[in-house]
Structure 1
Amino acid sequence: MSDELAPGVPHDSDGEIGHEHADVTGGWLRPAVFGAMDGLVSNVALIAGVAGGTAASAGTKPVILAGLAGLSAGAFSMAVGEYTSVASQAEAAQHEIHKERREIQRNSAGEQAELAAMYVAKGLTPELAAQVAEQIHEDPEQAVAVHAREEFGIDPDDLTSPMLAAVSSFIAFTIGALVPLAPYFFGVSSVWPAVLVTMAALFACGAVVTQMTSRAWWFGGARQMSLGAAAAGITYVVGSLVGTTGA
């Protein structure tokens, strides 16, 4: 077999592939990103709402208390939600994998023909597709893995860990939720430093996320910052109205 790469495939001077792909399927990435964003937005909105509805004479204690309560409740809620969601998804995937394993055990010839037909649909000749399917079915577990990937897009060896998703979400949410609280820990009495720090953090998070997408860094940052600002602004107004009415 020739060692030459296909024309147009990037490679270095040694003939190796010259690019790498980011890990976009890992079990920690999505919950970590979502948790950090949610922690930033939800807690700055909560803090802004409480600050808007609290009289200046009350000081910052109610705002800090609300922020800490929002951090604790949100972090545990995110962790539990991620664990339950990912565990349920993994259990559903395992159910389908077990079903495919039983079908291969009961009707190996039929499943082999089904796999060959899928490869023909992908562009292989019927003869080559039959040979590939036959070779794959020589190992029943390999056949299960291939059928799972081809039929319902699941890699049995790459199922997301519910615990990893939960821990990632919990830690990321906690870090995000601490950002709008940080200025108050240094004696700030106004809500605006907390809002400005959070907007900067949201812009940075949005810009970082675009490194794994095709969006420009400034677009991702501005989008995330504007959404967070809208959430904080709306809850501040609602807090002010409720506080005024309650007074």
Structure 2
Amino acid sequence: MTPRSIRQTFLLGENNRSSKQMDSNITMAAFGGISDESISDAGQSHTTQVDLEDQRLSRRFSKQRMPSDSSEDHTSTAFKINRRTISDAILGLSDGLTVPFALSAGLSSLGTTKIVILGGLAELVAGAISMGLGGFLGARSELESYNFTLRNTKLQIEKYPAQTSALVYDIFHAYDLSPSTITSMEKKLQSSPEQLLAFLMDFHHKESFPTLGRAYKTAATLAISYFLGGLIPLIPYFIVARTEVMTALWWSIGVMGITLLVFGYSKTCIVVGWSGWKNVLAGTKGGLQMLLVGAAAAGAAIGLVRAIEQGGIYV
């Protein structure tokens, strides 16, 4: 073997060792094993040997870790709570804009605004309480489900380590990591049961911790949004004279037609986006769908009341 070939063999071995060390550093950094400065120093000396795909996957794992006390994690948690609040508000408004409108339209057939106002307000209060309690119980169920999954996962880690290792391997294998990298990451997780538990809850069960405060916030958001949405179709009945119930009905239909269109459009665009003709088209379809649902509900209520009235059946 010539000196040149010996030198090439030596350099190749050094580069392979550096690449493996770099891969290990990235793996450990994803779970807090070493600092980012160590990765940066190693990368400056052997940049061409770094596996960019492993770096990307490591960053992904690092971003999806359980929330800590850092400001970045608090910001992410706050964003999730706000997004959930928006979803709850949309749900409450959807029901609030539809059900009370249908009820008020049906009661208008009885001939006086007093009946519409009293019946509408009674339904608003009862519906808001029902929506709030339903949201609270649903959020409490999420918390109970999370705690149940957490207990089972703890038991699995303690009594079935082989099965737990297989789960960890399957999770990392989906990202096309090398066996040596997976082994290194698995050993790192196995050394800390709490870290392993958080990892399995995040990546295997894909569940985030639902706080009890979320249940109260969900209940309040659903109840308030339902009440505010249902109050809109009743406004004309407060303004016109008691005997001009049909005038109030037509005003209510006009107001709700515009409201349902705007709400349906906005609800859709919040999800798909506001710019671009495709998003505008999707928003328009959402507005028309919301309008059709409200019209169908109101028409059914009016038809039912008139059918009962003509049949001589009074409740």
TM-score bracket for this pair, using the shorter chain length: 0.7 to 0.9
Q: Name the SS of the counterpart of 2:208 in structure 1.
A: coil
Match of 1:212 among 259, 270, 295: 270
Match of 2:258 among 191, 195, 200: 200
**1:27-57 deviation line (CA, Å, top 9, x unaligned):** 32332111111011000011111112x0x3x
Percent of pairs identical after alignment? 28
Whole-Å Cα distance in 2 between the matches of residues 211 and 142 of structure 1? 39
Greater CA deviation, 177-186 or 150-159? 150-159
Q: How far 1:159 moved relative to its partner?
A: 8.5
Q: Name the SS of the counterpart of 1:124 in structure 2.
A: coil
Segments of structure 1 that go 5 or more residues without pairing to the other structure are 7-22
Partner of 1:95: 148
Match of 1:232 among 274, 294, 298: 298
Match of 2:119 among 33, 58, 66: 66
The count of corresponding residues between Structure 1 and Structure 2 is 228
Is residue 2:138 matched to residue 1:85?
A: yes
Q: Per the alignment, do residues 181 and 157 of structure 1 end up closer, same or farther by CA in structure 2, a change over 3 Å counting?
A: closer
Whole-Å Cα distance in 2 between the matches of residues 85 and 101 of structure 1? 25
Partner of 2:4: none
Q: Per the alignment, do residues 77 and 159 of structure 1 end up closer, same or farther by CA in structure 2, a change over 3 Å counting?
A: closer
Contact 2:143/2:211 (8 A) holds in 1: no
Residue identity opposite 2:284 in structure 1: W
User: When the two structures are superposed, what TM-score results if normalisation uses the length of structure 2?
Assistant: 0.65
Residue identity opposite 2:268 in structure 1: T
Contact 2:143/2:210 (8 A) holds in 1: no
Match of 1:222 among 270, 288, 293: 288
Partner of 1:33: 90
Match of 1:162 among 199, 209, 215: 215
- Equivalent residues in 2 for 1:169-188, closer than 5 Å: 169-187=222-240
- Equivalent residues in 2 for 1:130-169, closer than 5 Å: 130-156=183-209, 161-169=214-222
CA RMSD after TM alignment: 2.8
Whole-Å Cα distance in 1 between the matches of residues 190 and 291 of structure 2? 52
Higher helix share: 2
Residue identity opposite 2:140 in structure 1: A
Q: How far 1:112 moved relative to its partner?
A: 3.3
Is residue 2:184 matched to residue 1:118?
A: no
Q: Per the alignment, do residues 117 and 88 of structure 1 end up closer, same or farther by CA in structure 2, a change over 3 Å counting?
A: same
**1:176-226 deviation line (CA, Å, top 9, x unaligned):** 010111111222633121122122222112111112333521111111111
Is residue 2:311 matched to residue 1:245?
A: yes
User: When the two structures are superposed, what TM-score results if normalisation uses the length of structure 1?
Assistant: 0.81
Partner of 1:51: 108
Whole-Å Cα distance in 2 between the matches of residues 225 and 134 of structure 1? 57
Segments of structure 2 that go 5 or more residues without pairing to the other structure are 1-39, 44-51, 54-78, 273-278
Higher relative contact order (CA 8 A, sep 6+): 1
**1:84-106 deviation line (CA, Å, top 9, x unaligned):** 12211220121101211232234
Contact 2:236/2:252 (8 A) holds in 1: yes
* Greater than 3 Å deviation, 4+ residue runs: 23-27, 105-110, 136-139, 157-160
Contact 2:142/2:210 (8 A) holds in 1: no
Q: How far 1:81 moved relative to its partner?
A: 0.9
Query: Rg: which structure is higher?
Result: 2
Contact 1:116/1:132 (8 A) holds in 2: no
Whole-Å Cα distance in 1 between the matches of residues 204 and 307 of structure 2? 55
**1:110-151 deviation line (CA, Å, top 9, x unaligned):** 423421222113322222222223323443323212201222
Whole-Å Cα distance in 2 between the matches of residues 136 and 144 of structure 1? 9
Partner of 1:16: none
Q: How far 1:154 moved relative to its partner?
A: 0.5
